[in-house]
Structure 1
Amino acid sequence: MPDVVLSVENLTKHFTARGSLLRRSPHVVRALDGVSFDLRASETLGIVGESGCGKSTLARTIVGLERPTAGRVTLRGEDVHAARGRDLRVLRRRVQIVLQDPYTSLNPRRTVRDLLLQPFEIHRDLLPRARREARIDELVELVGLNPDHLDRYPFQFSGGQRQRIGIARALALEPEVIVCDEPVSALDVSIQAQVVNLFQRLQRELGLSYVFIAHDLSVVRHISDRIGVMYLGKMAELGDRTDVYDTPRHPYTSALLSAVPVPDPALRGTRSRRLLEGDPPSPVDPPSGCRFRTRCWKAQDVCATTEPPLTAPDPREQAFACHFPMTQPATTAS
């Protein structure tokens, strides 16, 4: 087995929201409720799920922008949130993030040169001042940009070019892990393909490990080695991409995959569509037992009283959290 670079253990993040006119007392938003997984060296772990399931909170907690309510994030055995002082600065170098919106993640008042110099100004001991300009030229060429454009401002670039600048900034400190928080969702389809190919090339050349969060299931399948499916702050299914896509075990995963458009017109209509009824429950007051039971067509009494653990009956297959798992591939009509 490859080395485990990043380990997330029972990660929990609750936010306390203020009361309102209709609800005077504060309430707790359970954004994450016990998420666990390992990220291996040079691996891409894709994270998918509906809006509001906790994907972005997971990304921000991994890189240290949010402190967990419970659980741990460890980088090669070192607790990211327990570190202080110099140890914390070193850990921050090794885990970087690429944000979703390239229009707002870059300071419009600073040139690209200034944006790429900023990491070295914060971590001054990483690179001598005399070598920083040369390093910036290397970074922009690495992501497919022209070094002659370093003195331009972000508004002078297209969306895809801005995202490449964000990737170059994430690479500046030579991290081991990059958390990609929906990095292609704001881009055109043709540009999405270019950026995804760039991520794959950088992984081959630099040995990077990715946590890749996205809504587009086709993009996630293309870039990921393993896939985690989240629902309402928990991991519903986790396994190899081929297993998850071809033989999903959790009903929620099956419903998501049934909604993926079929590109071949000759195959349209050969796959049943599983429509989920109702909206996802509120993370303020999640259902008892299995959180998916209020929308699940397989739910029974035990689902309301006992929460299913995320387990794999066979070590060679994916793990899932369901009392009554699927037994047929998603492409088989029911």
Structure 2
Amino acid sequence: MAEPIIEARGLYKHYPLTRGIVIRKQVGAVKAVDGVDLDLFPGETLGIVGESGCGKSTLARLLVSLERPTRGEIRYKGEDITRLSGRALNAVRRNIQMVFQDPYTSLNPRMTVGDIIGEPYEIHPEVAPKGSRRQKVQELLDVVGLNPEYINRYPHQFSGGQRQRIGIARGLALRPEVIVADEPVSALDVSVQAQVVNLMEKLQDEFALSYVFIAHDLSIVRHISDRVGVMYLGRIVETGKDAEIYDHPTHPYTQALLSAVPVPDPDAREHRERIILTGDVPSPTDIPSGCRFRTRCWKARERCALEVPELAVPAVFRLTDGPAKHDSACHFAEEKHVVPGEGELGGPGQGTAQPAS
């Protein structure tokens, strides 16, 4: 297997909470990312899913060095980039670009499309000499499916889907190897989402890109991803190949997420199981001891409050030749099968989830 192009090990990002005006005193911290390990391999798409506030966007900003981790390291081709600065950091950023979530706020309304897409060349002039920049920008517009003659237009003259294409073109300007896409289709209409996702797949083949694709929509993540990581309250709780995660989820949180996916077939919808989690997500300033999902989990036992479950192959699969060999951070991980041919993402026998006592 090829070496990872990006490795994150023991990644933490805590934002301090302070009190006082003259003398500031730290009284706690928001634990946005709290011990994440992940690998991204050349040419693959790693999907990251989880509910709002679980730390997905913070993780994205860490991977592109827009934020410095509290501790831990991020390696790009074996080099720790968390300690780089100045020109050394700029050289790495050229190869790791980002597509932002909101195409309406991520583009400067006072700049033309040509200036927006061409701005990376001001920071990295070696990529495109001044005399060739206009042509390169027009080529990028054509690559993402926009008319090159739109180069002098402003963002407000484009639809949401077109603006996201402009954001993608800006991310491609420096010919990066990795693109971190932070919910790139969540602000778009459903029909436009499909167009943007298909464009990203086409560009991945054309430019040999590796993606970290963050999204709420589980069906989109399954469509585009090779592997999937499920985040909950700052940590990845289950990870594996897309088919294994979707067809054989083992972590209770993953099972609950997948049970919420809409099923278009009315007959299948009537017979599917729906796992309803009670209670709210704990505050990231006061994370529960042991397993952070235990306050909402119907499997929680005393052990869950005392021991932090490690992300590893569940014991049930180490003893069998079952199909699912992915990692799960649960003391009582148990496979949940999809009924073949029914299109369900849940399964029989679970019942309604109850909070831990």
TM-score after normalising by structure 1: 0.96
Structure 2, unpaired ranges of 5+: 319-323, 338-344, 350-357
Match of 1:332? 347
Match of 1:183? 184
TM superposition shift of 1:328: 2.4
TM superposition shift of 1:312: 1.5
Match of 1:320? 328
Match of 2:128? 127
**Aligned counterparts of 1:4 and 1:327: Cα–Cα separation in 2:** 28
TM superposition shift of 1:258: 0.3
**Aligned counterparts of 1:57 and 1:273: Cα–Cα separation in 2:** 30
Kindly indicate whether the alpha-carbon contact (under 8 Å) linking 2:16 and 2:26 is maintained by their aligned counterparts in 1: no
Q: Which string of whole-angstrom CA distances, capped at 9 and with x for unpartnered residues, describes residues 194-226 of structure 1?
A: 000001000111110000000000110011000
> Aligned residues: percent identity?
58
Q: Which string of whole-angstrom CA distances, capped at 9 and with x for unpartnered residues, describes residues 217-249 of structure 1?
A: 011001100000000001100000000000101
Match of 1:85? 86
TM superposition shift of 1:20: 8.0
Match of 1:17? 17
Kindly tell me: are residues 226 and 20 of structure 1, through their superposed partners in 2, closer, same or farther at Cα, counting changes over 3 Å?
A: farther
SS at match of 2:192: helix
Match of 1:299? 300
Match of 2:225? 224
Matching residue's letter, 1:10? G
**Aligned counterparts of 2:11 and 2:335: Cα–Cα separation in 1:** 29
SS at match of 1:268: helix
Kindly indicate whether the alpha-carbon contact (under 8 Å) linking 2:255 and 2:336 is maintained by their aligned counterparts in 1: no
Structure 1, unpaired ranges of 5+: none
**Aligned counterparts of 2:240 and 2:88: Cα–Cα separation in 1:** 33
Deviates more, 1:255-264 or 1:321-330: 321-330
Deviates more, 1:261-270 or 1:150-159: 261-270
Kindly tell me: are residues 292 and 20 of structure 1, through their superposed partners in 2, closer, same or farther at Cα, counting changes over 3 Å?
A: farther
SS at match of 1:4: coil
Kindly indicate whether the alpha-carbon contact (under 8 Å) linking 1:6 and 1:74 is maintained by their aligned counterparts in 2: yes
How many pairs are equivalent?
Answer: 332
Match of 1:8? 8
**Aligned counterparts of 1:270 and 1:160: Cα–Cα separation in 2:** 37
**Aligned counterparts of 2:75 and 2:121: Cα–Cα separation in 1:** 24
Kindly indicate whether the alpha-carbon contact (under 8 Å) linking 1:19 and 1:27 is maintained by their aligned counterparts in 2: no
TM superposition shift of 1:25: 5.8
Displaced runs of 4 or more, over 3 A: 313-316
Matching residue's letter, 1:109? R
RMSD: 1.5
Determine if the alignment matches structure 1 residue 26 to structure 2 residue 23: no
Kindly indicate whether the alpha-carbon contact (under 8 Å) linking 2:272 and 2:347 is maintained by their aligned counterparts in 1: yes
Kindly indicate whether the alpha-carbon contact (under 8 Å) linking 2:48 and 2:212 is maintained by their aligned counterparts in 1: yes
SS at match of 1:66: coil
TM superposition shift of 1:127: 1.9
Match of 2:290? 289
Matching residue's letter, 2:152? D
**Aligned counterparts of 1:166 and 1:268: Cα–Cα separation in 2:** 37
